[in-house]
Structure 1
Amino acid sequence: MIPYGRQDISQEDIDAVTEVLRSDFLTQGPAVPRFEAAICAATRAKHAVASNSATSSLHVACLALGLGEGDLLWTVPNTFVASANVGLYCGADVDFVDTTADTYLMDANALEAKLTAAAAAGRLPKVIIPVHFAGQSCDMKRIGALARAHGVKVVEDASHAIGARYLDAPVGDCAHSDICVFSFHPVKIVTTAEGGCATTQDDELAYRMGLFRSHGITRDADRMRFESDGGWYYEQLELGLNYRMTELQAALGVSQMTRLDTFVARRNELARRYDEILADLPLTRPAQNPDAYSAYHLYPIQVEDRARVFGELREDGIGVNVHYIPVHLQPYYRDRGFKPGDFPRAESYYDHAISIPLYAGLTEADQDRVVAALSAAL
């Protein structure tokens, strides 16, 4: 079976984790700050706050921005459920903005129209989460400008996009957002086994995300309400969570980050090759924004008779997948009032979507096998 995604683990990665296992710290040691520094270096962000998953990072980002009861969060239907769920975790309501028909990203025109209507109705969202699907950045310059005009905060869900660029700047520099979140799940660009990280240029947001990540507790004397009794003293200032990243995860991440540019370049090389050898097949390839350099976490195509093609590819040993079932069509969200037809472009994409294998370790021979199987199925 050729999977749709796979981690790339080197001996250096193994050695880095082994070194931690032999050290004095398995959690809350020096590796996590090193990993956060590596993320800052890659993204030009002032701060990076690592956690045990991208979902956790999205959650603490929303908490840091003050999202709560009575508030509203908007994201896109074409994403993993976590992008929406984090709003509910905070007690807010959730709604969606439809995607474009060709990039499957948040449609800035739809966002503008929805913001205008929401402003007139007095029900603007507090937070918008655009999702950089498949590794490609949304039109963040326009999304950020629209959000600022309405006083709305922006969290980029860049779970697919570490190493990507937009307007010749790294995704994660938060030039058009308040916070940007990355995922380090094994099928992502680089991995920490499980893990996430949020970047920001804002000192206070970084502090608050760090606070919520670790039980709402601080040992910073300048932040405490009462005078410290001694070196053991700490204070809980917020109702936080235990979302900390371990030293093992961070050590793996530090090692993986040394190959980030290599991983992304290889994915782009394979994507260009797919573009060429799929050109004559009856399918739709993903469009690319000329202002963006994708990290190519996924290579999503659209085909007719998706269920049959999907089944035949799986039977032929090609581990295709589908990203994503629109969130608003999940039973939980239908119970909240959403229904088919609410976001037609995201639904149309889903009806035809297949993600074919793409990862840094994929060989040209593997790629040829994928295309041969796809050609036969079509």
Structure 2
Amino acid sequence: MGASKNIPYGRQCIDEQDLKAVTDALTSGWLTTGPKVAEFEQAVAEISGVAHGVAVNSGTAALHAAMYAFDIKEGDEVIVPPMTFAASANCVAYMKATPVFADVDPETLLIDPDEVEKKITSKTKGIIAVDYAGQPCDYVALRKIADKHGLFLAADACHSIGGSLNGEKVGSLADISLYSFHPVKHMTTGEGGMAVTDNAEYDKRMRIFRNHGITADFRQRDGWFYEMQDLGFNYRITDFQCALGLSQLSRLPEWVARRRELAAMYDREFSDMDGLSPLGKLDGAKHAYHLYVINLQGENRSEKRKQVFSYLREHGLGVQVHYIPVHLHPYYKDNFGTHEGLCPVAEKAYEGLISLPMFPQMEDADVEYVVETVRKALAEV
């Protein structure tokens, strides 16, 4: 297998083009919200197949802004999956509403439309679907449910920019879709996020929300006058971050293509390896592979995962686990009465999940090393 390597599970790529873009922005006269923000918003909206983009300072802020756009209030319920980062549910709690957890499909770990239907009550206002690992959810089924019950449909697409479903681009599959530009994602602005939508009213509300609830931005100011129309937040992003985002966006297609190549290599090696299985794929979905996740099989999976995880870390692989089901976190147990057994499919899956290295700068030899290290780990536990 050769000498041990040091391969993280994800890593940003910054080159001279990015450095020049940021330097140019820093010396342009604009530092905070300026023309590069609008340019970046337009470019991301375009590659998403929608009319509007609202850039903010994180994916979490984008989720929060979407809940504001949907006018979520105390007493409302919003259905979310448990197999995600906590922010996907926290954004509902920020509005003093109740996240209601619907279990996931055992093969894909995407929210299960049948489970969503079971969770709908008179208080339900919407659904947040999460494109776990980079695979779009079954938005055809989810849209039918949302339309049947008069619900909004949001896409937490923080893992799936560059993907598609049945030929329709990620970003155009829901009423509002949310992106993250954290460094381990497909492209980065350092920290940052965006909400994209075809709905002009949602776009307007999110723009106000990200700027303290104030209506004026740099294009609208007329002397001293502005109005605070609602209680918003300072979720603005800087011009130089958006300059970096524009530079990164130009290479997104090639980076997503490389992620798919790496995933295909993993798939070939793991398809018949005893003791684990890759995640299933949804018909019609083009996966963007933010993560490549394996699920360990067999008895005592939780203990086995602990041992395999430690072995891989000891041999230079920066593996991770995505995710502890959100409803198992103490905050949700204490404040929303969630408990073990609420989402049994997600809970069982969690016991065996490991995220392997996945980023475009990986070489074929890196994949070979990861596969061989996993094989040896399974043989030793």
Q: Read off the aligned partner of 1:289 and give its amino acid letter.
A: L
1:194 aligned onto 2:186: no
Mean Cα deviation higher: 163-172 or 230-239? 230-239
How much does 1:248 deviate? Answer: 1.6
Residue of structure 2 equivalent to 1:212: 209
Q: Read off the aligned partner of 1:366 and give its amino acid letter.
A: D
Q: Read off the aligned partner of 1:256 and give its amino acid letter.
A: Q
Mean Cα deviation higher: 274-283 or 159-168? 274-283
Matches of residues 86-97 of structure 1 in structure 2 within 5 Å?
86-97=91-102
How much does 1:94 deviate? Answer: 1.4
Q: Read off the aligned partner of 1:162 and give its amino acid letter.
A: I
Residue of structure 2 equivalent to 1:327: 326
3-state secondary structure, aligned to 1:77: coil
Q: Deviations over 1:306-342 (max 9, x none)?
A: 1000000000111100000000001111113111111
Matches of residues 88-237 of structure 1 in structure 2 within 5 Å?
88-115=93-120, 118=121, 122-123=122-123, 125-174=124-173, 177-219=174-216, 231-237=223-229
Residue of structure 2 equivalent to 1:339: 339
Contact kept, 8 Å, 1:160 with 1:182, in 2: the verdict is yes
Equivalent residue pairs, number: 363
Separation (CA, whole Å) in 1 of partners of 2:143 and 2:280: 22
* Percent of paired sites with the same residue: 46
Contact kept, 8 Å, 1:62 with 1:127, in 2: the verdict is no
Which of 224, 236, 257 is the matching residue for 1:244? Answer: 236
Q: Read off the aligned partner of 1:217 and give its amino acid letter.
A: I
Q: Read off the aligned partner of 2:353 and give its amino acid letter.
A: A
Residue of structure 1 equivalent to 2:288: 295
Unpaired segments ≥5 residues, structure 1: none
Q: Deviations over 1:126-173 (max 9, x none)?
A: 121010001100000110110111011111100001101111011001
How much does 1:114 deviate? Answer: 2.5
Mean Cα deviation higher: 271-280 or 235-244? 271-280
Separation (CA, whole Å) in 1 of partners of 2:282 and 2:260: 14
3-state secondary structure, aligned to 2:72: coil
How much does 1:280 deviate? Answer: 2.7
Unpaired segments ≥5 residues, structure 2: 1-5
1:260 aligned onto 2:234: no
Residue of structure 1 equivalent to 2:58: 53
Q: Read off the aligned partner of 2:278 and give its amino acid letter.
A: R
Matches of residues 25-104 of structure 1 in structure 2 within 5 Å?
25-104=30-109
Separation (CA, whole Å) in 1 of partners of 2:277 and 2:180: 27
Contact kept, 8 Å, 2:134 with 2:291, in 1: the verdict is yes
Separation (CA, whole Å) in 2 of partners of 1:139 and 1:41: 22
Which of 264, 267, 272 is the matching residue for 1:272? Answer: 264
How much does 1:113 deviate? Answer: 2.6
Separation (CA, whole Å) in 1 of partners of 2:363 and 2:268: 16
Root-mean-square deviation (CA, aligned residues, Å) is 1.3
Q: Read off the aligned partner of 1:368 and give its amino acid letter.
A: E
Segments of 4+ in structure 1 off by > 4 A?
Answer: none
